[in-house]
Structure 1
Amino acid sequence: MNSRPTVAVTMGDGAGVGPEICVAACLDPTVLAVARPVVIGDAARLERAAEALSTEVAIRTIDSPSEAGDCPGVIHVIDLDLLPADLPWGELSTVAGDAAFRYIERASELAMSSDVQAICTAPLNKEALHSAGHQYPGHTEMLASLTGTKEVSMMLSSPKLRVIHVTTHIGLIDAVARIEPGLVERTVRRGNEALVRAGIEHPHIGVCAINPHAGENGLFGYGEEEEKIIPAISALQNDGIDAAGPLPADTAFFLAGRGDYDLIVAMYHDQGHGPIKVLGIEAGVNITVGLPVIRTSVDHGTAFDIAGTGKVDTASMSEAMRQAAALAAV
């Protein structure tokens, strides 16, 4: 049996930088040392991406991940052949939005049947996705639906900080309404399990408050911390999980940045995304926690403004593939 896990690499929106970062990461020696990548996408688009990068590579079409071999300078692709040859770079496309969904759909099938051991996704464009009739807020919710998973969490990982979110792609008012002790507790448990899987035996987890200064004893907010967060932390601590809080978010991220916490639990999207992106979006990786399959992704978008120019930084995609392989190998 091959000691390196096979990672299904979805090409993302073909009008964006997805094809370019897939080509670069699939040729990265540090990736190939730990993973066997198989792209789910369009072979012709990958060839155009290689041209944009001024990279010499052979794009080899296969029908099954089992056909992928170790061939220097070769990228193996399950070619769904969904994109027109004249698809322009950097422009919103319903066809590309639908294709991005189809790549994820095929990768999910391969993962659920154990033909691949992990999925690593290039970015898609939500507007293009929706215009094609696929009404998902993003990859996280799409993969949950495709794998029949009721609830998952988004975790962002960078060299200096890891963040897991209690809520993600909903408005702030809706997020506060959705937060309740059970959801907070389940989110922390998923994060704790993911870190243990990654080799951190006893993760130290900081849980953010909702209000400034953690409510300051009722001065800010309407008692959300006492009602929605503290009961969850008590239950987690009773089970031996090292969860502290609720912490003022500005303090929590400062402490995590200097190494006091292995994981910060953010209550809503921007509370967690902001610090990660300030610390370096190019090194950030998005991990979907709670799925029956391993899934990682870059923490950046389709970058239509530079798509097809060869200027994209590919470091995040390489790191996402390395982390997918590391998690799959446990």
Structure 2
Amino acid sequence: MKAIIGITMGDGAGVGPEIIMKALGDSTLYESCNPFVIGDAKILQRAAGVVNSELKIRTIASVTEAQYEYGTVDCLDLNLLPADLPFGQVSPEAGHAAFMYLKTAIELANEGLIDGICTAPLNKEALHKGGHIYPGHTEILADLTGTQDFAMMLSAPKLKVIHVTTHVGIIDAVRMIEPERVYKVIQMAHQTLRKAGYAEPRIAVCGINPHAGENGLFGYGEEEQKVIPGVERAQKEGINVQGPLPADTLFFRTTRGDFDIVVAMYHDQGHGPVKVLGLEAGVNITVGLPIIRTSVDHGTAFDIAGKGIADDQSIKEALRQAVELAPKR
């Protein structure tokens, strides 16, 4: 039986509704999964007009009503937004709605009614103004599922990156990096790739400082104190991991095929190389959750919202990876 994937609409003022309508115009997606949208039907209908889609919107009150027919988009309509929601503007209503779409999806996944969640982008400022003080999707998912150990993984052609820290400032990130966290992220990377079919994942760990500290030449011994003990613990358990290694060459070596995944220490260290490969190519996967969640690796793109030009390749790839990772019915 095909996996049932709930697609959350994200921030209705951004490009999320547009890329969803574009993506669901690809009939091949329906060959591998049963997708439906958790959002606002009226906003999806508006997006259909923006992208010149001929798809119809079917409003449903529960997942059991979904028919998953190509040509018609099933929408679990929460009816939270006005039809004239301005494009490209921060809106507390849209921030709250984006939170409620995700909360609903998590509840459905916990009940076993859906097999995975694919999220369109939300806007963090709108989320906060809507009364939900979280750094982003990942932290909401962790909180609402009671998950303590989780990590953000980015997947792009030839490069997978998992993060020790994510949405915090660089000074806070260095403070938060500890051997136990490094070890757990290495362990999550190993387990995730094993489930995905890698017999013995090859894991590489970035240093914090330039040249991975170069034996104390740069920094104040962060690699020795914060990174190396976690790496050595994982190695003792038989995990194939190396590091800390200089980040300036490590990502190139990984795209060349030397490693299967990179453990990045902080947000921009990991995100930058993935996004150089192309915003449309990256997929965001939350690792460590009891449910499958994938996402586009780009934001709400308020500057182009309503213009119909947003690229749907990332959300299509996110849907494909949700299907690949989802438990089989």
Scaled to the shorter chain, the TM-score interval is over 0.9
Q: Kindly state the Cα deviation for residue 30 of structure 1 after the two structures are TM-superposed.
A: 2.9
CA distance, structure 2, for counterparts of residue 217 and residue 323 of structure 1: 39
- From 71, 92, 112, the equivalent of 2:110 is 112
Residue by residue over 1:232-272, the C-alpha shift from the partner in whole angstroms, topping out at 9 and shown as x without a partner, is 11111111111100000012111001111110000000000
Alignment of 1:276-287 (within 5 A): 276-287=274-285
Q: Kindly state the Cα deviation for residue 8 of structure 1 after the two structures are TM-superposed.
A: 0.7
Alignment of 1:103-142 (within 5 A): 103-142=101-140
Which amino acid is 1:44 matched to? K
CA distance, structure 1, for counterparts of residue 158 and residue 213 of structure 2: 27
Alignment of 1:10-159 (within 5 A): 10-159=8-157
Q: Is the 8 A contact 1:39 1:78 kept in 2?
A: yes
Which amino acid is 2:222 matched to? E
CA distance, structure 1, for counterparts of residue 318 and residue 4 of structure 2: 14
- Runs of at least 4 residues off by over 3 Å: none
Which amino acid is 1:22 matched to? I
Q: Kindly state the Cα deviation for residue 288 of structure 1 after the two structures are TM-superposed.
A: 0.3
SS of equivalent to 2:285: strand
Q: Kindly state the Cα deviation for residue 86 of structure 1 after the two structures are TM-superposed.
A: 1.1
Alignment of 1:251-266 (within 5 A): 251-266=249-264
- From 214, 217, 225, the equivalent of 2:215 is 217
Q: Is the 8 A contact 2:254 2:262 kept in 1?
A: yes
Which amino acid is 1:154 matched to? M
CA distance, structure 2, for counterparts of residue 117 and residue 219 of structure 1: 49
Residue by residue over 1:54-92, the C-alpha shift from the partner in whole angstroms, topping out at 9 and shown as x without a partner, is 010111111222322242201101000000011111111
SS of equivalent to 1:6: strand
Which amino acid is 1:50 matched to? A
| Root-mean-square deviation (Å) | 1.0
CA distance, structure 2, for counterparts of residue 203 and residue 301 of structure 1: 30
Q: Is the 8 A contact 1:180 1:229 kept in 2?
A: yes
What residue in structure 2 maps to residue 171 of structure 1? 169
What residue in structure 1 maps to residue 324 of structure 2? 326
Which amino acid is 2:270 matched to? G
CA distance, structure 2, for counterparts of residue 242 and residue 85 of structure 1: 53
Q: Is the 8 A contact 2:35 2:68 kept in 1?
A: no
Q: Kindly state the Cα deviation for residue 309 of structure 1 after the two structures are TM-superposed.
A: 1.2
Residue by residue over 1:79-119, the C-alpha shift from the partner in whole angstroms, topping out at 9 and shown as x without a partner, is 00000011111111111111000000100100111110000
- From 237, 240, 247, the equivalent of 2:245 is 247
Which amino acid is 1:47 matched to? Q
2:191 is aligned with 1:199: no
CA distance, structure 1, for counterparts of residue 152 and residue 68 of structure 2: 33
What residue in structure 2 maps to residue 297 of structure 1? 295
CA distance, structure 2, for counterparts of residue 65 and residue 34 of structure 1: 18
5+ unaligned residues in a row in structure 1: which ranges?
Answer: none
Q: Is the 8 A contact 1:160 1:279 kept in 2?
A: no
Report the more deviating stretch, 60-69 or 252-261: 60-69
Q: Kindly state the Cα deviation for residue 169 of structure 1 after the two structures are TM-superposed.
A: 0.5
TM-score by length of 2: 0.98
Which amino acid is 2:162 matched to? I
Q: Kindly state the Cα deviation for residue 231 of structure 1 after the two structures are TM-superposed.
A: 1.1
CA distance, structure 1, for counterparts of residue 257 and residue 278 of structure 2: 16
Residue by residue over 1:169-194, the C-alpha shift from the partner in whole angstroms, topping out at 9 and shown as x without a partner, is 11111111111110000011111111
Q: Is the 8 A contact 2:3 2:326 kept in 1?
A: yes
TM-score by length of 1: 0.98
CA distance, structure 2, for counterparts of residue 120 and residue 189 of structure 1: 24
Alignment of 1:3-14 (within 5 A): 3-14=1-12
CA distance, structure 1, for counterparts of residue 66 and residue 247 of structure 2: 46
